[in-house]
Structures are given as C-alpha cells and as structure tokens.
Amino acid sequence: MSTVSFADELRSRNDAELACLFNLRPDLVTPVPSDFSALAARANSMPSLIRAVDGLNKWQLDVLTVCTILNEPFAKSDVTALTEKAAGAVIDDLWERGLLYKDGAKYRIVSNVRVRIGDEPAGLGPKAPTDVIYAFAQLKKAPEAAMTMLERLMWGPPRGQIGNLKKPGEAIAWLLEHRYLIAMDSQTVVLPREVALHLRGGKVFAANSATAPVLEGTTRKQKEIDRAAVANISTFLRWCEELAHNWSDEPPVALRSGGLGVRDLKHTAEHLGVEEVCAGFVAEMLFISGLVVIDTDDQIMPTSAFDIWLTKSHEERWRGLVTLWLETSRVSGLIGKADQKNIAPLGPELDRAGIASLRTTTLALLHENPELDPKVSTLLNRMKWLTPGRFNGEYIEWALREAEWLGLTGQGALSSFGRALIDGADDLGVESALPQPVDHILIQADNSAVAPGPLTVELANTIGTLADIESRGGATVYRFSEASIRRGLDHGQTGDQIKDFLKRTSKTPVPQPLEYLINDVAKRHGRLRVGTSNSYIRCEDEALIQQITVDKKLDHLRLRKLAPQVLISDIEISEVIATLRESGYLPAAENSTGILVSAPAIRRAKSRPKPPRVISDFQNPSDVVISSAVRALRAGQKASAHKPREVPRTTANETLALLHQYIEEEASLTIGYADTNGGVSNRLIDPLKISLGTLMARDHATGQVESFRIPRITGVAPAATE
Amino acid sequence: MSDGPLIVQSDKTLLLDVDHILSDECRRAIASFAELEKSPEHIHTYRLTPLGLWNARASGHDAEMVVDTLLKYSRYAVPHALLVDIAETMSRYGRLRLEAHPVHGLVLVSNDPAVLKEVTRGKKIAPMLGLPLDDETIIVHPGQRGFLKQALLKLGWPAEDFAGYVDGEHHDIDLVQEGWKIRKYQELAAEGFWHGGSGVVVLPCGAGKTIVGAAAMAHAKATTLILVTNTVAARQWRDELLKRTTLHEDEIGEYSGSKKEIRPVTIATYQVMTTRKKGLYAHLDLFDAIDWGLIIYDEVHLLPAPIFRFTADIQSRRRLGLTATLVREDGMEGEVFSLIGPKRYDVPWREIEAQGYIAPADCVEVRVTLTDAERLNYATAEPEDRYRFCATTLTKQRVAVALARQHSEEQVLIIGQYLDQLDALGQELGVPVIKGDTPIKERERLFAAYRTGEIKCLVVSKVANFSIDLPEATIAIQVSGTFGSRQEEAQRLGRVLRPKADGRGARFYSVVARDTVDQDFAQNRQRFLAEQGYAYRIIDADEVLSAD
C-alpha cells in the first residue's frame, strides 16, 4: 500500500483510461505533472482528493465509504455484500476517478481517501481488538437496557459518554464484559465496527441510495414560463440601468472595509422598489460586470463600460450578466447576514468556493426537467444526493431566487432563454421576445408623459433630463415639473429646443399648460447669475471706471465690467491696489461691509502661526520627581533580575516545524505565548498534538492539558534548565 | 406579445390606454379591483391596493379573476412576483369571519387555525376575544365587533362580517317617482349596498347621492338616521326626501345646533354629534334614541374621527356611506373600510359625465400680471402673509369682476377664502355675499333665489363649499382658496358640475397672480383637474380685460 504501487498502477492504465481520469479530475493536469509518481502524489494529495470526493454523488460516496471499511485489497463482491449489487458499476467509476486502484483482480484504496472520509466512516467505530470473537447469539440474552444502548449507538456516532467506568450500570457492565462496548477512557465507550455491522444487518447504510430522489413540482407551459421569464429579464435589465443611473447622480460612498453601507443599500432598495436582498444582488451583478466600480475616492460610480453596455442589445447585456453569474464565486445571498458582522454588497467577504458549480448543477437539474417548477424540498433532496460534499440548502435556494430574478427561470421552471444559454446557442431569442423599443411618448394635460414601452436609449436619456420618473415597469411614467424643466435648461437646452423635442416625440399634442410651464421656467432661468472673483473695483464716477478699463497698464489685472460702476478681477486685492497705485490712481480698500479700511500699511501673513519647537536646557527637576525616578529604577532592577530568559522569535513555518519535531521527540520545550492583551509570557510545556491551528500541550505550570493557538506562539526554544 | 390596452407597472399601478380598441372592456374589467387614480386624456392610471383588492373580494371577485384580467389585457408580460402578491393579498380577506353563534353570540371563525392563532396573539386583539370554542372559533366580547374589525384590518387580516344586522323599527318608506325617474346606476348602487349589508357607495358630486340614500331607505323600510356635514345640507336632504319619497314632514326630524327633533327619519349634523360638554359627547344618545334600522353617512370622506368611534359601537345596524371619493386627506381609508364597510358601488365621474348626467366642465386659469407696486409689496411681505397678499390684489379683483360681467347672462358663483376680498367683490358687482356669519335662514333664501334665477350672481366663502345644491350654476370663478387641497377642488368643481337643464357646459375659472405662490398652487390645481380628465387651459388676463 505504497504510493509507488499507485503510481505503477497509473502507469499501467492505457491512454483512454488516463484521458478519462483527467476529464473527471482536471486539476491533475494543471499543471501537467512531471512523471507518474508525481501524478500519483498529486492524485493522493488532500486538495485534489477533496475536490474529487466532493464531486461524487451520494451513492458513489457511500460505495467509497464502504471501501474504506474493508481490508485491502478487496474484491467487488466484498463491497456488494455490504451494499447493493449495483455497487459493482460504481467501483469501476471510482477506479476511473483514481480513487481506487487495482491490485490484480482486487482493489486498493488511495491512501488519503481514508483521511478524507474520516476515522468513523458511515458512523462505524473502530475495529474490535483482534482477540475478540463475538458470538452474536448471546445478544438475545442481553439486558433490555443494553440493547437500547446498542441501538442508540449502532447508526453512529459510535461513541457514548458514561458516568464512571468504575461504577457502570448493569447494562453497560454487561456490554463491557462481553466486549460489545469497549472503553476508550474513563468516561467514553465505543461500539466496535463488527458489532455495529451485525446490528445493521450486514449492510453499511440504512437506506439504499443507488437511485436519485425524484423531483416533484408543478408542471407549467413553456409559453407561460417564457412570458414570466421575459418579464423578469426586462425587469432585471431595467433595475441594472436604473441603479447605475441613480449612483451616477448620487454616488454612495463605500465603507472603509469596502462595500456598500447598510443605509445606502436601504436607499437603493427603496429607489428600485424591491427588497434589500434583491437590491444587493443587482448591485453585485453591476459590480462583478465592471459596470460600477468603487472609485479611488471611495465613491461607488458607474464606469465607462456602463455606457458601452447601454449600447449593446438586450440579449448581449443579459447574456453577459447571466454568464458572469454562473461563473462568479460571490454569493449575494450572504448580504446582510449578521452572523458576526454585517456582510456588505460589493464588499470583500462575499466569495465562497464551490458556489458556481452548485449553480450550474441546479440549473442542469432544471434543464433535465423541462416545464417543471420543482418543489424546493424535493429539489434540495435531489441536490443533496447529487452533491453531498458541497450541499448547502441555503445557497441553492438563493441560486433559485437569483435565477428567477435574472429570468433564467420563469415561474420556477427553466425558460427557453436559459435553456439556450446552457446549450450554448448563438441566438438566445431574448431580443425577439422582449417588447420592441418605442420612439414616442404621450404627454397629458396633468404634465405627465407616458412612454408606452421601453424607450430607445437616446430618447430615454433626453427625457430623463427633462422630467422625473414617477413609475416604472412595462411603461415609464414621467412627470414634468419646474425643477425637472430647470434641469433640462441646466443641461444646455433652451426652452424652444425642449418644446421642439416634445412636439417631435409626443404622439399627442403638447398640452398648452405644459408649454406655459416651459416658457415660464425658461424665462426665469439664468436671470440670476452667480460667479466668483477675488476683488472688485467700484467707483461712482463712471468715467473713471471707463478710464481704468481702457488703461493699457492695467491689462494684466484682467478687469471685467459687471456694471457701469463695478469692475471685477481674479487678482488678489493687494496686487490690484498696488498696480492701481503704480499707475497713478488713488484706490482705497474696503471690507466686506463696505467700510473703508484706512491703514493697510502694516502687512500680516494670512496663515496661522506655527512657531518652531523650543530647544533649551533642561530645568532642574523637583525633589519629588527625582525620588520617584529612583524608586522606579530600583523596581526595574529587581524586575530584570527575575526576568526569564527570552524565547527567541521564530517564524510561523519554523514554529510549526519545531513543534512537529518536539511532538515526535516527546520532549519538553519553552514557548513564548501572547495572551489576549498582547503580553507575551513564557510557558514550559510538553507538546501533544497539533490540530486546526491549535497546539494541545501539557503546561508544566498548571499540570493541565491546555490548547495554544499557534499564531499566538511567538517563539519556540528547548526547555530551559533553570 | 399581446397588444392589450393595459400596462402593469412594478409599483402596482396599471396604465390604461384609453385610445385602445379594448379600453372600455378593460376599464370595466379592472374597475372592480383597482382604484382609478387619475384619468387624463390619454392614459388612465389605476392602482392596486390591498383595500381595493379586498373591496373586490367583498363583492365576490377572486384572485384568479384578477390575475386573469391582468394577463388578458396586459400589453407586456406581467412580473410573476406581482401576481403572486395579488393572490396572497386577496386570500387574506375572508380567511377570518365574524359570525353570530346561536349560544355564544358573536364569534370569530376561521378555517385556518394558524391565522386565528396569529391574530389572537396580537396585543391589541387578545383583550377583545374571549375563550376559544374550538380550534376554529373564538368568542368575541360583546361590543367589540367594530374595534375588532378595525384592529384586524391593521394587522392585514380583514374580517368578513356575516354577523348580520338588526332590522330596526319598521317604518314604511317608498320612492315616489312622479315627474322623475330613478337612474339606472342609482338603482344599482342602492341594490349593491342592500345585498352587501353595509358599505360605501362612491358617486361623483351631482350624480344624485341623495336619491341613492332614499332608495336604500326604501329597501330597508325602517327608521333611519342620516348624518350630514352641516345644517344647510340637512335641509336639502329633508327637501329631497319629501320630494322623492312617501315621507311626510312630521316624519322627518332635524337634529342640529338649533333644533333637536327625533323622528322616524332623523337628519343630524356631524357638528352636533361631535359637540362636547364638559369633555363628554353630549348627543351620543341619539344613536340609541330609536332602534334605527339604517344609518346613512353623507360625505364619508369628511366623516370626523369621533364619529368613527361611535360607529364602532353600532356595528349591528346597517350602514350606508355616500361619498364622491374614497380618498381621505387624513389617510383614514382603512377605518371607512372596516367600520362602515367595503365599497359596494362605484361609478367614475367620466362615465356618468358621458351618460350626460353631469355637465362637462371647462377649466380656465386666468393669469394676472401684478402691477410693479403690487409685486414689490408681495416680494417684501412676510412669508406667512404672502399668499393672502397675492390672492387678494386689486388687479385680481378687477379681472374677477370683468369675468363676472362677461357672464352676466349666466348663473355665476364667485368663490373665495378672504372675507374682505369677498365683500369688496360683492360691493363692486352689487351682489349678495354668503359668509360664515350669514344666518341659515338668509342663506337658504339666497340659495333659493339663486336656484330660481332671481339672483344671477353670488359671492360665497368656504362655508358654502359643502353639500349645497346649486344646480343652475354654470360659471364658477375662484379668486382664492386654501392651498390646493384636493378635496376643495372636488367640491368647487362639484358646484358647477351638476346637470344643467339645457345641457350647457359649465366653466370653472381660477384667477391666479403670475410669478407668485398663487401660481404654484394653481399648478397643483391644474394637475388635479387634468388628472380628473378635465380640459385645462391658461389664458392671460389681458384677453379677459380686452374683451370687456
């Protein structure tokens, strides 16, 4: 049972068989291993095995589990004896996947599979000690309580807690005596594997998992499914557009940890008129498509890719979004889940491995069952059977929810667009199914306008600047108001242009009150002008002002005449005054209330004082200070005399390597260990084992077995001899 | 994609393309469950609300019918979530029922024990309920019928009331159709109400709500309490009932500030009912004075909050609400639904107008340019005085007078808010002014003279706004008014909307000062009127003055 023989077996496989293996486990060839022993090592490596085992369905996994119970090498018949006849085919399959390998006519198991399956496969305990031979007939004589106990343990977990081994109850005493239970320590007993198998009736699993659970649900008509899906698709695309536009108008500021804040998410949801989870999903889709981005100043804004996206056909947009959704590892469903802290959309904490394959598998299942809107519980059962290793009911329900939002499904069943996408069709049929864009609006006397369908992009943009959206859906309802018309004027259109545009695009005559409104606003727009300048010159003598404006020597002041008596300049006031004086004028400065500032001769800096630090001799300290300093020194001296030897710092890798070494040598050692406050103390310990980033060790100081978090260990050194 | 007349929006509004060939058919189909929000010339907007859907359930429609209708007429695919939501909402109505139990009196019944459990756990509801009889039935404490319905509606589980009504004291009432005939929709409205037990009938101003009330009384043939907004309206009800029914003068009592008569048919004003003496409502006994068989609430949308509280106590009597609109400015639509009853009949304004029962109105906004002096005064006025300032300028008055003179051959009504302005107008035109302090007798005399055409022009203040029939008015001129409230507009328009004997169109002028807050309010008015589907145009005061 060495890896070499696995390598040998791999070497003996023919090309087709190898190709099959690589197809099933593509990670084995990325990158291509140098030789067969490297391949064997990789196939036996934990990451690759985890991936391979997780890819098995329940039935395959069950058969593999049974294989780990058997003594190697084992024959197919050994496996079928413990399961079903059909297991034979699965053995071949497992062999193809390189989880089993052949030893003559029999099979062996790749060594790390056992580690992956665990110490107690199928809830079976360890094997009984070799000296025990059971006579199961005597179980009939067992006390009733003992049988109850066995029944409780037979399907696993095989371990049970008892009060005290030294004073067991009658039933336990009987079981221990006949070795149907074996004591592990003073409080734990375990049911040996042979006993459990006997109790299970010679089969490992209670239920036969050879056939997949059946999907149940409502059957729908493809036409209705597609109708619903079209509504979903157009709604989703609209949400995307709407949200990006909204963020372009009022960009939210990202959290410091990255991501969209709770309040902004709420605001977004209100804006779209959907639930927060849905708004979060839309935001995520925009984010992963690169249509919005967290800018350098932490503002979340649409990118120029969004403008390009808008010019694409609906089908292209949809295909892009859905393809990304199928690939992404981000799980929008996690948004707002407050296990420890809030998970924000667009944040860094949304990635989960394996979610993409879960989505693909779910959709594939819908693909296999056309026109079926499956009951969620049956779908989850099926998924659990298909991917026991990766199953996560919550994730699957989210995936179904998102597929519906995206319009991959309609009324819960796969739409023909989704089907075309999965089949890799060139034309998904989205474009022809979506309502055709309209190029007109209907303006009504209440100053509202209705676009009775999706508007063309240019039209939507122009109307968007002139009117506020009041209601969305198949149609869009716009409302004209003073503010919205003003916005249009701010965008550089004139009142006449606006009226022309409306006359052109409206199928109905523009109502007279709306024209009045536009005229009114246009008339008032820009009547007040606002600008900035640094200084002004005013003079009641208009002739003098005139003279200054034509004075060549004052050209560089770039004076502008605002009124017959007022000039403004971008130049600072002091320079203007100086220049005027040089040119022979007699200006005086005035302050903000118009009062003459009479003595501007003394000049002062505008910036705040920042005097340099004073560097001087030390002052003589007071007696109190001196005496307390002495006390402190004495205390420090004493402390350093008792200071333990410092443990040298070691890097994480060194620490781990050293710990392993000491565990093997069973030697004592000293570690530096940081407590929760960051203080480092030295501990003298006997290391026992390492698991999950924790070192179990007996602490000499307390005599107790304690756990030490490895990242907290600052250094490791041989035990100090004091 | 079908090419229907209806577009379903994601905010649960429905847009109906009235120019579409199927629009009439579709309008009729959706009117039962969606509320008409606005009806401008091309696209009408309906809204799906829980109350609207429950109203539909109450009148026997189910979710399937609603969904089918939407799918049938919708131009684009309808989001599935919206349909699910509709079905969900509608299924909530009637899941709980109030029934009369032969032994235990009033009980709350549900076939769905989970729902029953959910609502009984509510803090507000638990005290109203007694012991459960079984999983599906719980005793309701006597007297809590109304409050329970109110509380259940707030929880989103409106209860259907099958507990029945007391017949009340019998009193013979019949319609006397001499020289007039009850209109089809009035008959349908009364029948719809009678079969529903209790509820609200929505009819536009001028569509003859009084006659619906009279017809309902003829169905009930029992003593009736009628609650109206004010004394003038009370007298109009009395006159109308005398004219249309077999009732005699001594059978109809008035219960108001001045008279306290209790007769088989008693007409009381909201004001007297809500009068308090030493903190107590002094006239509550009226509700128990006679074993009333029917209670009619006129202008339900104005029903004061205390009356709701009394109404909760009299749930075993039949209640009919009459109103032009279910919209309440105070948002108490839910109270109307739970305490008076669901909507039993509804005819949109336009429909009745199309049938020729309401004169079509032409709305004209007259823009007045203030003089420079007036503008300067306006600009420097305190913000709270600004409206008063621009609304009462002399320039405006001149235009109003010119308008009134132009229409001197017709029946003109000038409506305003500020008394000085009204007095000045009355003086200049030499016509009577009706204000809050005008005695009832005098008011009635003036109104009567106006109706006969003896007086051609009247100046009225706010007090004249509600429930007074001035069917001959063809021109209304509004010079000032409270800040564009929707209700006031409806009332004002109602003045001139009553059917005219010769089928002439009515005109509604509002005189507005340009570039002031007055104009902003006018914009609200324009929106409201246009939403109701009335033609609206703006003219310059110069046009009026030059024609003068």
Q: In this structure, are B322 and B376 located in the same domain?
A: no
Please report which helix (H) or strand (E) contains residue B491, including its range: helix B486-497
Contact between residue B357 and residue B499 where contact means Cβ atoms under 8 Å apart: yes
Q: In this structure, are A423 and A500 located in the same domain?
A: no
Work out the average pLDDT over A584-599.
Answer: 80
Q: In this structure, are A378 and A508 located in the same domain?
A: no
| Contacts B9 to A, Cβ<8 Å | 471-475, 477
State how far the Cα of B414 lies from the Cα of B399, in Å rounded to an integer. Answer: 12
Give the pLDDT of residue A434. 83
Instruction: Please give, rounded to a whole number of angstroms, the shortest distance from the CA of B535 to a CA of chain A.
Output: 8
Contact between residue B413 and residue B403 where contact means Cβ atoms under 8 Å apart: no
- Beta bridge mates, B140: B129
Q: In this structure, are A226 and A354 located in the same domain?
A: yes
Question: Does residue B317 fall inside a structural domain?
Answer: yes
Q: Say yes or no: B17 contacts chain A, CB-CB below 8 A.
A: yes
A446 to B526: CB separation less than 8 angstroms, yes or no: yes
- Beta bridge mates, A101: A108
Q: In this structure, are A393 and A453 located in the same domain?
A: no
Please report the ipTM that was assigned to this predicted complex.
0.79
State how far the Cα of B136 lies from the Cα of B110, in Å rounded to an integer. Answer: 5
User: Among A143-152, A317-326, A549-558, B245-254, which is the least confidently predicted range?
Assistant: A143-152
- Beta bridge mates, B260: B255
Tokens of A490: 């701010």
pLDDT value at B60 more than 90? no
Q: In this structure, are A295 and A392 located in the same domain?
A: yes
State how far the Cα of A273 lies from the Cα of A467, in Å rounded to an integer. Answer: 19
Tokens of B261: 């008569």
Instruction: Please give, rounded to a whole number of angstroms, the shortest distance from the CA of B527 to a CA of chain A.
Output: 4
- Beta bridge mates, A689: A696
Question: Does residue B178 fall inside a structural domain?
Answer: no
Instruction: Please give, rounded to a whole number of angstroms, the shortest distance from the CA of B70 to a CA of chain A.
Output: 13
CATH number at residue B430: 3.40.50.300
Question: Does residue B175 fall inside a structural domain?
Answer: no
Q: Say yes or no: B87 contacts chain A, CB-CB below 8 A.
A: no
A228 to B80: CB separation less than 8 angstroms, yes or no: yes
Give the pLDDT of residue A39. 81
pLDDT value at B467 more than 50? no
User: Which residue of B9, B79, B526 is in closest CB contact with A513?
Assistant: B526
Question: Does residue B500 fall inside a structural domain?
Answer: yes
Question: Does residue B166 fall inside a structural domain?
Answer: no
Contact between residue B135 and residue B106 where contact means Cβ atoms under 8 Å apart: no
Q: Say yes or no: B67 contacts chain A, CB-CB below 8 A.
A: no
Which domain, by its residues, includes A541? 535-590
Work out the average pLDDT over B171-177.
Answer: 88
CA distances from B459 to B351, B444, B463, B525 (A): 31, 14, 11, 21
Tokens of A440: 């007109």
Task: Domain count for chain B, please give it.
Answer: 4
- Among B308, B332, B350, identify where a domain stops: B350
Nearest to A103 by CA among A75, A71, A67: A75
* Through-space distance between the first and last CA atoms of chain B, rounded to whole angstroms: 57
Instruction: Please give, rounded to a whole number of angstroms, the shortest distance from the CA of B460 to a CA of chain A.
Output: 28
Give the pLDDT of residue A480. 92
Mutate to test the interface with B, among A233, A236, A404, A444 (most CBs of B within 10 A): A444
State how far the Cα of B144 lies from the Cα of A258, in Å rounded to an integer. Answer: 55
Give the pLDDT of residue B1. 45
- Among A380, A403, A432, identify where a domain stops: A432
User: Which residue of B7, B365, B537 is in closest CB contact with A474?
Assistant: B7
Question: Does residue B170 fall inside a structural domain?
Answer: no
pLDDT tens for B506-538 read: 788 889 988 888 888 888 878 877 877 778 889
Q: In this structure, are B424 and B494 located in the same domain?
A: yes
Instruction: Please give, rounded to a whole number of angstroms, the shortest distance from the CA of B136 to a CA of chain A.
Output: 29
pLDDT tens for B276-300 read: 887 777 777 777 778 888 999 988 8
Give the pLDDT of residue A502. 92
Q: In this structure, are B344 and B363 located in the same domain?
A: no
Question: Does residue B171 fall inside a structural domain?
Answer: no
State how far the Cα of A321 lies from the Cα of A395, in Å rounded to an integer. Answer: 19
pLDDT value at A319 more than 90? yes
Q: In this structure, are B316 and B292 located in the same domain?
A: yes
Q: In this structure, are B71 and B103 located in the same domain?
A: no
pTM of this prediction exceeds 0.90: no
Q: Say yes or no: B77 contacts chain A, CB-CB below 8 A.
A: yes
State how far the Cα of B303 lies from the Cα of A710, in Å rounded to an integer. Answer: 75
User: Which residue of A445, A448, A450 is in closest CB contact with B536?
Assistant: A445
pLDDT tens for A514-554 read: 998 999 899 888 888 888 888 889 888 888 999 888 888 88
Q: In this structure, are B372 and B426 located in the same domain?
A: yes
Contact between residue A400 and residue A358 where contact means Cβ atoms under 8 Å apart: no
| Contacts A482 to B, Cβ<8 Å | 523
Work out the average pLDDT over A600-628.
Answer: 62
Give the pLDDT of residue A338. 63
Q: In this structure, are B389 and B476 located in the same domain?
A: yes
Q: How many CB pairs under 8 A join A and B?
A: 109
pLDDT value at A261 more than 90? no
Which domain, by its residues, includes B472? 359-547
| Contacts B526 to A, Cβ<8 Å | 445-447, 513
- Among A524, A544, A566, identify where a domain stops: A524
Q: In this structure, are A27 and A166 located in the same domain?
A: no
Q: Say yes or no: B11 contacts chain A, CB-CB below 8 A.
A: yes
| Contacts B365 to A, Cβ<8 Å | 513
Work out the average pLDDT over B225-247.
Answer: 87
pLDDT value at B438 more than 70? yes
Nearest to B32 by CA among B306, B346, B349, B249: B346
Q: In this structure, are A260 and A379 located in the same domain?
A: yes
| Contacts A445 to B, Cβ<8 Å | 40-41, 526, 530, 535-536
pLDDT value at A57 more than 60? yes
State how far the Cα of A359 lies from the Cα of A413, in Å rounded to an integer. Answer: 14
Interface of B with A in 488-517 (CB under 8 A): 515
Q: Per-residue DSSP letters for B237-288?
A: HHHHHHHHBS--GGGEEEESSS-B---SEEEEEHHHHT-EETTEETTTTHHH
Phi, psi of A591 (to 5 degrees): -90, -175
| Contacts B38 to A, Cβ<8 Å | 446
Task: Domain count for chain A, please give it.
Answer: 6
Nearest to B398 by CA among B513, B523, B536: B513
Q: In this structure, are B153 and B138 located in the same domain?
A: yes
Residues in A lying within 8 Å of B, measured between beta carbons: 227-228, 230-232, 234-235, 273, 404, 410-411, 433, 435, 442, 444-448, 450, 452-453, 471-475, 477, 482, 508, 511-513, 516-517, 520, 524
Tokens of A1: 């049972």
A513 to B78: CB separation less than 8 angstroms, yes or no: no
Give the pLDDT of residue A424. 86
Q: In this structure, are A51 and A179 located in the same domain?
A: no
| Contacts B527 to A, Cβ<8 Å | 446-447
Give the confidence band of B216 by pLDDT, cuts at 50, 70, 90.
very high
Question: Does residue A646 fall inside a structural domain?
Answer: no
pLDDT value at B109 more than 50? yes
Q: In this structure, are B312 and B370 located in the same domain?
A: no
Q: In this structure, are A466 and A565 located in the same domain?
A: no
Q: In this structure, are B79 and B12 located in the same domain?
A: yes
Give the pLDDT of residue B127. 84
Q: In this structure, are A448 and A581 located in the same domain?
A: no
Contact between residue B122 and residue B173 where contact means Cβ atoms under 8 Å apart: no
User: Among A114-123, A287-296, B132-141, which is the least confidently predicted range?
Assistant: A114-123
User: Which residue of B17, B38, B538 is in closest CB contact with A513?
Assistant: B538
Burial class (CB in 10 A: 0-12, 13-18, 19+), A304: exposed
Task: Write the single-letter amino acid at A17.
Answer: E
State how far the Cα of B141 lies from the Cα of B148, in Å rounded to an integer. Answer: 10
Q: In this structure, are A421 and A450 located in the same domain?
A: no
pLDDT tens for B310-336 read: 787 788 889 999 987 776 767 788 888
Q: In this structure, are B79 and B202 located in the same domain?
A: no
- Among B92, B107, B134, identify where a domain stops: B92
At CA A64, angle to CA A59 and CA A67, rounded to 5? 135
| Contacts A446 to B, Cβ<8 Å | 38, 40, 526-528, 530-531
Pairing of strands B265-269, B224-228: parallel
State how far the Cα of A710 lies from the Cα of A60, in Å rounded to an integer. Answer: 37
Q: Tell me which chain B residue has its CA closest to the CA of residue A445.
A: B530
Tokens of A583: 């040119």
pLDDT value at A93 more than 60? yes
**Residues in chain B, total:** 548
Instruction: Please give, rounded to a whole number of angstroms, the shortest distance from the CA of A315 to a CA of chain B.
Output: 17
| Contacts B41 to A, Cβ<8 Å | 444-445, 508
- Among A396, A411, A432, identify where a domain stops: A432
- Among B350, B372, B397, identify where a domain stops: B350
Task: Write the single-letter amino acid at A272.
Answer: L
B80 to A474: CB separation less than 8 angstroms, yes or no: no
Please report which helix (H) or strand (E) contains residue A561, including its range: strand A560-563
In the numeric block, the tokens 């004027």 are attached to A489
For chain A, what is the mean pLDDT? 82
CATH number at residue A103: 1.10.10
Instruction: Please give, rounded to a whole number of angstroms, the shortest distance from the CA of B25 to a CA of chain A.
Output: 19
pLDDT value at A631 more than 70? no
Tokens of B60: 């026997």
Work out the average pLDDT over B426-430.
Answer: 90
Nearest to A199 by CA among A244, A152, A162: A152
Instruction: Say how many CA atoms lie within 13 Å of A686 toward its Cβ.
Output: 10
pLDDT value at A318 more than 90? yes
Q: In this structure, are B222 and B365 located in the same domain?
A: no
B80 to A447: CB separation less than 8 angstroms, yes or no: no
Q: In this structure, are A360 and A288 located in the same domain?
A: yes
Q: Tell me which chain B residue has its CA closest to the CA of residue A227.
A: B77
